[in-house]
Chain A
Amino acid sequence: MSPEQTSLAFRANSVCALEDSALRAAMKQATDTFGTKRADAFAPVADLEALRDRASAIRDDVLANLPMYVDRFVASATRAGAVVHRAEDAATAREIVRTILADRGARRIVKGKSMVSEEVDLNSHLEAAGMEVVETDLGEYIIQMEGETPSHIIVPAIHKNRRQVGRLFADRLGVPYSDDPQALTKIARKALREKFLSADAGISGANFAATDTGSLVLVTNEGNGRMVTTVPPLHVAILSVEKMLPSLADLPAFLRLLPRSATGQTITSYVSVITGPRKPGDATGAKELHIVLLDNGRTEILAGESRDILKCIRCGACMNVCPVYRTVGGHAYGWTYPGPMGIILTTLLTGMKKSHPLVDASTLCGACVDVCPVRVPLVDLILGLRKRKVREGFADPRERRGMEAFGKAAAKPALFALGQRLAGAFWPLVRALGGKDVAGRMPSPAKTPLRRRLP
């Protein structure tokens, strides 16, 4: 993750994205496929609404008692032999991880996919300390090679097509060009296998943390998550505090919802439940397990009106159905998390000042709310942030004056009709002045307004 956040340039980023036909084709193909696969995966689930209610209630309970659950997790994980570190902010988390690795002389680090590590910009910090950090998730491997950031929380290289990946591998790895995903996957397997076997340490994230057993749960498909957590002698896991589940026995509900929502699978190829490091008599597990629990503003979010975003289990379903995300892709949002959940998290974690254009990056159509497996009220949360944007003075004052004027005109039919005629007459001018900007792309008003077409 590049530390430069570009959320303020959301409009300009979107205009660039709209002009990138390869990006738009990749996004359309991928999000359409996701939609179909998700629907197919949920079709046989008889009591889906009850399942969502249960998962939502468990997440509500976690948020209502978060400090207690975090303390319980720390105690359980410590009892299981892990060393747990609490990180107040991103800089502290980075430094904790660097110190753990440096103290043990770790030079080569293999990494599983972790959005929290992207959030704290971990890689560049470790690289600056002279460590080699290798992303091992295929999508992350591709974008690390390209020097990019993830544009989707589940499929980080969703914006790239097979020909772009083929050219990248040919360039950087010196292999013959291929645009066959299976062949490209084999190339990555070979290159990364050697890294796994020679790594000094593995870094992973976690999808869930069970507070009764101190277990970390990783939901993955490729097997790289299993590699980084079992092959190197040292395992450092970094996760944010809200990933708690009260009990390991709560996991099945989430295993039924997360893979179906994320990739349309009944379950992922692998679900790893890791409880502490290797113990006497064990032949599996890192010799040392360090768990870094990141707050980075979550405690503050928990106390505020947007707390429900912390229920999110990071499935990515909301972005796959979002008309804005599907059109402009993830990079336009300018920070770690894109799509509807990203609008909310980015605004809360980085502050309104750095991200206020994002709160308008939604049509409020509610498609995200329909698919959210844990019933995060995404539209309400975005609306709440829009109100905050106005309250905190980040809204364009012209917008407010315009809306007030519109409100007055719309209350008087004659004035409204005049406005409609004027808009029709001046539209070509508005469009010409708008150029490539949003105004220049607006469709023309109807010749006969709806008002006059109604019986």
Chain B
Amino acid sequence: MSDAEMERIFLENAATAAAGTHSVSDTGDLLAALGRVVAIDSPVFCPGMTELEKAAAALFPVRAADYAAAAVTVEEVFGAVAETGTIVCSSEGGRAVQAGLLPAHHVAIVRRERIFGTLDDLFAAIAFAPPTNVTLVTGPSRTADIELTLAIGVHGPEKLDIILV
């Protein structure tokens, strides 16, 4: 699978799973995309741990100190899986995986080179020494517990946006 092919499949599968998908080429485009995706005056949690997160964090006037109090979490995630349209959140490097769980809106920034083709590729990379928590996230939180009717946003985010950089 070529990189372009992998990217196309990832975006297609993520969209099928009801994630919002955005593809940008550089940091300037990323900030523009964030401006469109995030309600700018809502309390945003952004860990500011990576270069992209540092750039993103400067964009938001209202910063939530804690993800539990945030309306939106904007973060760069560990990677993605093309096969399933999944983003991969990892606790590696002291990251709070639950930061993308509590707020109603999760915005995940993924670097293109961090897309794995298949689930096998991902697990081959992490299976030797997995960190405390690795969570595969595919679309928003959902349930079909009432009459098998799909309802979005049960305990996790009702909205997931993925920005590929």
Which residues on A are within 8 Å of B, measured CB to CB? Answer: 26, 29-30, 33-34, 136-139, 142, 155-158, 160-162, 165, 181-182, 184-186, 188-189, 192-193, 196-197, 210, 212-213, 215, 221-224, 226-227, 230-231, 247-249, 251-252, 255-256, 263, 266-279, 281-285
Contact = CB atoms under 8 A, between A and B. Distances in A.
Contacts, number: 181
B125 to A, nearest CB: 10
Nearest to B137: A270
Contact of A248 (B16, B127, B142): B127
A255 B141 contact: no
Contact of B119 (A247, A256, A268, A283): A256
B42 interface: no
Contacts of B135: 226, 270-273
A308 B101 CA distance: 38
Nearest to A274: B133
A274 B140 contact: no
B123 A249 contact: yes
Contacts of A271: 135-136
Contacts of B123: 248-249, 251-252
Contacts of B156: 222-223, 226, 269-270
Contacts of A155: 144-145, 148
A259 to B, nearest CB: 9
A269 B141 contact: yes
Contacts of A269: 17, 137-142, 156
B95 A284 contact: yes
Given A26-B147, A274-B132, A276-B132, A223 B127 contact: no
Interface in B106-165: 118-120, 122-124, 126-127, 129-157
A213 B140 CA distance: 28
Given A29-B148, A34-B148, A272 B133 contact: yes
Nearest to A276: B132
A227 B155 contact: yes
A231 B138 contact: no
Contacts of B84: 266-267
A149 to B, nearest CB: 15
Contacts of A231: 98
A30 B144 CA distance: 10
Contacts of A285: 91, 132-133
B13 interface: yes
A182 B151 CA distance: 5
A273 B143 contact: no
Contacts of A221: 141-144, 154
A260 to B, nearest CB: 11
B98 A230 contact: yes
B96 interface: yes
Given A189-B154, A249-B123, A269-B142, A197 B132 contact: no
Residue of A161, A189, A273 with highest tally of chain B CB at under 10 A? A273
Nearest to B68: A197
A272 B162 CA distance: 19
A193 B135 CA distance: 20
B15 interface: no
A162 B150 CA distance: 12
A408 to B, nearest CB: 50
A279 B132 contact: yes
28 contacts: A30-B148, A33-B148, A138-B143, A142-B146, A155-B148, A156-B145, A161-B147, A181-B149, A182-B151, A188-B154, A210-B127, A222-B156, A223-B155, A226-B101, A251-B119, A263-B144, A266-B16, A266-B84, A267-B17, A267-B86, A269-B141, A269-B156, A270-B136, A273-B136, A275-B134, A281-B94, A283-B94, A284-B96
B24 interface: no
Contacts of A189: 153-155
A211 B131 CA distance: 15
A138 B149 CA distance: 13
Residue of B135, B143, B153 with highest tally of chain A CB at under 10 A? B143
Given A189-B155, A266-B13, A266-B17, A284 B143 contact: no
A82 B127 CA distance: 18
Contact of B141 (A156, A223, A282): A223
B37 interface: no
Contacts of A33: 148
Contacts of B150: 181
Contacts of A182: 151-152
B146 A165 contact: yes
A263 B98 CA distance: 25
Contacts of B122: 252
A273 B139 CA distance: 18
A382 B95 CA distance: 49
